[in-house]
A = this chain, B = another copy of it.
C-alpha cells in the first residue's frame, strides 16, 4: 500500500502536469510555468518521509513539491488560471504556490530566495521547541547563489532541523552545470559547511524515500541540518509546456537516456515484477486521477475572476 501511495502520487503529478501542458495552448493559463515532469520521484519520496506538521518551501518549479506535500489541486489549477479561488487568489500563478494547511509555506521564483526562509522556519521551530523539520528544494543552479551558503552556515551554526534537497538536473535553463560550476560534487560543499550529507538517484523513489527518512530523523533528533543531492532529469523545456529538444542544447543520446530513466515507468516495472502492483491497480489510479484532474479544471474555469479592484487589496497586513 505504501508503494502504491508512492506510485500513485508520482503518477498523479505526471498526469496533472501533462494536462496543464495540453491545455496551456488554449492561452487561458497566462503565466510562466515550469514543469517537473521526469523529476517526480524526488518530491514524492521526500514528502513521504514527512509529517503533516513539517513545513516546506519551494521555488519556480514547485508543482510536484506542492502536490506531494498535499497541496490543494483545485487551488493550484485555479491559480494558474488566475482565478479568485487560486491559492494566491490569482496574485501569484504557477511560480507562487502556498497551502498553509499542509505546511506548504510558499514557493517563489527568485532563485534561492526561499532558501534562507526555510532556514528561518527551522530556526523558529527550534526556538519554539517544536518538533518539526523544514524542507527546502533547490536546484543545481540555485546552489550557486551566495545566499545558499549563508543559509547553510547559519543552519549548521544553530544545528537547525532543516533538510536541504538539491535536485540536480544538470541544467539551469539551457546552461549545463559545466559552464557554471567547477568540476566537484555539490554535496561535498554542504558537507564542508558542517551539514550531514547524502547522495542518491533522484529517479528512484524508494531510494529517495530511504535517504529522506534518515535525513528527517537526523534533523528531528538534533543532528543538525541535512543535505541531500539527487540526480534527475528535466524532460520538457525549462519554462513552458513543450519539449525543446530541437534547440540542440542537449544531445540526442542524452535525451534518450534521460527519458528512459523515467521514475514512474521504472517504479511500475519494479512493483509489477514483485507483484505489488497490477495493471488493474494502475487503470484504477489512472481513472481516479483523470477524474480529479478534469474536476480541477472545471473548478478553475467556473471560479470567479478577480478584478483590478481586488488587485489593490492586501498590500499591507
Tell me if A180 is interfacial: C-beta within 8 Å of chain B.
yes
A156 to B146, CA, bound (A): 15
Bound Cα distance from A188 to B156, whole angstroms: 15
Q: Is A157's CB under 8 angstroms from B145's CB?
A: no
A192 touches which of B153, B156, B157, B192 (Cβ 8 Å): B192
Residue of B nearest to A178 (CB): B157
Could you tell me the dominant secondary structure of chain A's interface residues? helix
Q: How many residues of A contact B (CB 8 A)?
A: 22
Q: Is the beta-carbon distance between A184 and B194 smaller than 8 angstroms?
A: yes
In angstroms, Cα B182 to Cα A194, docked, is 7
Query: A193 contacts which of B145, B147, B184 (Cβ < 8 Å)?
Result: B184
Say if the beta carbon of A216 comes within 8 Å of chain B.
Answer: no
A148 is an interface residue with CB less than 8 A from chain B: yes
Q: A146 near B144 (CB under 8 angstroms)?
A: no
Return chain B residues, CB-CB under 8 Å to A149: 146, 148-149
B residues near A184, Cβ cutoff 8 Å: 156, 192-194
Known: A148-B149, A157-B182. 18 other contacts (CB 8 A): A144-B153, A146-B146, A146-B148, A149-B149, A153-B181, A153-B182, A156-B182, A156-B184, A157-B179, A157-B180, A182-B193, A184-B192, A184-B193, A184-B194, A189-B189, A189-B192, A189-B193, A191-B192
